[in-house]
Amino acid sequence: MTVYELGDDILVVDAGLAFPRDEHLGVDLVLPDFGYLVDRADQIRAVVLTHAHEDHVGSLPYLLREAGVPEVWATKLTLELVASKLDEHGVLRVAELREIVPEDGPFTIGPVVHTGDYKIDHTPVDGIKTDVGKLAEVGNRGVDLLLGDSTNAERPGVTLSERVVGEAFRQIIPARTGRIIISSFASNVHRMQQAMDVAVEVGRKVAVVGRSMRKNINIARNLGYVQVPDETMIKTADLDNYRPHEVMVVSTGSQGEPLSALTRIAYNDHPGVKVERGDTVIISAKPIPGNELRIHDTINGLTKLGAEVLHEEIAPVHVSGHGNAEELRTILALLRPKAVMPIHGEFRMLSAHARLAQEAGVPADAIVLAENGSVVELGPGGPRIVDQVESGMTFVDGLGVGDVRDVALRDRRHMSEDGVLIVVATLAGSNGRISGAPELIARGFGESDELIEELRAEAGRVLQELLSENVSEIKLLQEHLHDGIGQLVYDRTQRRPMILPVVIET
């Protein structure tokens, strides 16, 4: 999230979220701390969304609820994807949604260019190439400051075209005799298009699993961004009517998210999709830093079930959506900005982008490396960090996707109000049985002895049920415990304590 201020007006660019790391037990989502904006809510004129990836739009419903925003601007597909998200959160009517037409050029906020995620793809899947002429024209008019994507600034050369992935699918899929399962980000509609194109070519039916994937593919098909014949699409429930070599499953879960479709498939815990020897799973995504271990667990699970798992380290089944160093240089050369503020990336990536800017002729004192909360002032002398404001993370402890209207915002301020509940269950090593009833430690949500007993029994029941279905993955057990116990506490007390499930193997 970037906040622009001119006089008393505030324009927000993107409102993303991060996914919790393992140390954030019991947390579902990580949002930026909106404190600064909440205090200045009446000054916010609009939010502009560069694209619909979760790290750019995921916290918008929470921002709308906390700060209220009169207008949200984005291109057509982003707007539709976001509208459905806002609707689920019951905040669709908070802001007016307004469409930006790319041909009209960038949203004009003065001589500042904010890139969003970009790469320069000369053979894009949708045929719409980077408008190099327009960028040069913007450069000719003069750019005071460039805020540019830095994700791949450390990587030399250029990023491969998205089309390369389609070619890999075309090599891999026709030769396979079992099921094909392809997992990617639900928002990567071009990736899904390329997979489904190959399914059509080889005569496989396609089933879509995972709520966000189903939703996004529906929206993209309705708008014409994804084109698949109706007769190719089948319901998950109908998979059993086809032989393995007749189907392709398109799935969420490329990040090993604990309750996602692919993770559940990997632990034999998915109601509609089974994996067996001869099947091929393609993970068409790169691990977000911090998710590597979860993805390794998923790959191990799938491999144990007999599948061959192809991922970016062993097959060209993913290319980055971010430009490498040469593409960043191209943008710097076209725009010739007077000053540069690298954004989107870890500090080392921002710093690599700063070096590229300097090589491109931007003076060192006109390059600013800002961190979360930094206030950068753009004046006649160039950009300067002049202040640091409240920033950081806010945790969301939701109760699963069916209950998004009621998710609880959790942080240190709120935790004291609804209390904490810690559930500790011990599994006896080799046979994976529960040793004794789970222990419960409750603080401050009006808990009675009867309720604690009921919760303890429920925790035991949830665990037994999972173990009897051969689910023994600690993270999955913890997520199921979290959701089951959270729901019961809410039903009985209308409170949402922070729930910390801890499963220990002895």
Cβ proximity to Zn ion: between 73 and 445 the closer is 73
Q: How many binding residues for Zn ion (CB under 5 A)?
A: 3
CB of 56 to Zn ion, least distance (A): 5
In this chain, which stretch among 45-53, 103-111, 285-293, 415-423 interacts with Zn ion, using CB under 5 A? 45-53
Q: Does 197 bind Zn ion (CB under 5 A)?
A: no
Helix, strand, coil share of the chain (percent; to 5): 40, 20, 40
Instruction: Give the CA distances from residue 230 to residues 34, 209, 210, 240, 303, in Å, rounded to whole numbers and listed in that order.
Output: 43, 17, 19, 19, 32
Residue nearest to Zn ion (CB): 117
Q: Other CB atoms closer than 10 Å to residue 419's CB: what's the count?
A: 19
Q: Does 326 bind Zn ion (CB under 5 A)?
A: no
Residue that is written with structure tokens 């990836």 in the block:
53
Say if residue 422 is exposed, middle or buried (CB neighbours under 10 Å; 0-12, 13-18, 19+). Answer: middle
CB of 118 to Zn ion, least distance (A): 10
CB of 375 to Zn ion, least distance (A): 23
Q: In the window 348-387, what residues touch Zn ion (CB under 5 A)?
A: none
CA atoms within 13 A on the CB side of 365: 4
In this chain, which stretch among 41-49, 50-58, 79-87, 478-486 interacts with Zn ion, using CB under 5 A? 50-58
CB of 19 to Zn ion, least distance (A): 13
Cβ proximity to Zn ion: between 187 and 193 the closer is 187
CB of 186 to Zn ion, least distance (A): 14
Residue that is written with structure tokens 């810690």 in the block:
422
Are 273 and 221 spatial neighbours (Cβ–Cβ below 8 Å)? no
Q: Does 55 bind Zn ion (CB under 5 A)?
A: yes
Sheet holding 233-234, edge to edge: 233-234, 205-209, 247-251, 180-183, 280-283, 308-311
Q: Rounded to an integer, what distance in angstroms lies between the CA atom of residue 246 and that of residue 205?
A: 6
CB of 347 to Zn ion, least distance (A): 16
Instruction: Give the CA distances from residue 477 to residues 25, 109, 463, 485, in Å, rounded to whole numbers and listed in that order.
Output: 12, 48, 7, 12
For residue 42, the SS3 value is helix
Cβ proximity to Zn ion: between 169 and 185 the closer is 185
Cβ proximity to Zn ion: between 18 and 369 the closer is 18
Q: Rounded to an integer, what distance in angstroms lies between the CA atom of residue 206 and that of residue 288?
A: 27
Cβ proximity to Zn ion: between 352 and 499 the closer is 352
CB of 428 to Zn ion, least distance (A): 43
For residue 258, give the nearest of 500, 26, 504 by alpha carbon.
26
Q: Other CB atoms closer than 10 Å to residue 423's CB: what's the count?
A: 26
Q: Rounded to an integer, what distance in angstroms lies between the CA atom of residue 264 and that of residue 260?
A: 6
Cβ proximity to Zn ion: between 55 and 197 the closer is 55
For residue 438, give the nearest of 448, 449, 450, 452 by alpha carbon.
452
CB of 14 to Zn ion, least distance (A): 8
322 among known catalytic residues: yes
In this chain, which stretch among 53-61, 369-377, 393-401, 409-417 interacts with Zn ion, using CB under 5 A? 53-61
Q: What is the dihedral of CA 302, 303, 307, 310, to 10 degrees?
A: 90
Cβ proximity to Zn ion: between 150 and 183 the closer is 150
Cβ proximity to Zn ion: between 151 and 263 the closer is 151
For residue 58, give the nearest of 421, 394, 428, 451 by alpha carbon.
394
Give the tokens for residue 14. Answer: 């993107």
In this chain, which stretch among 40-48, 55-63, 249-257, 258-266 interacts with Zn ion, using CB under 5 A? 55-63
Q: Which of these is catalytic: 28, 121, 149, 297?
A: 149
353 among known catalytic residues: no
Cβ proximity to Zn ion: between 288 and 385 the closer is 288
Q: Other CB atoms closer than 10 Å to residue 132's CB: what's the count?
A: 13
Give the tokens for residue 59. Answer: 């916290």
* Mask for 79-118, x = binds Zn ion (CB under 5 A): --------------------------------------x-
Instruction: Give the CA distances from residue 376 to residues 338, 385, 500, in Å, rounded to whole numbers and listed in that order.
Output: 15, 4, 38
Q: Other CB atoms closer than 10 Å to residue 23's CB: what's the count?
A: 7
Are 73 and 36 spatial neighbours (Cβ–Cβ below 8 Å)? no
CB of 162 to Zn ion, least distance (A): 15
Q: Which of these is catalytic: 56, 190, 322, 482?
A: 322
Q: By CB under 5 A, name the binding residues for Zn ion.
A: 53, 55, 117
Catalytic residues: 149, 322
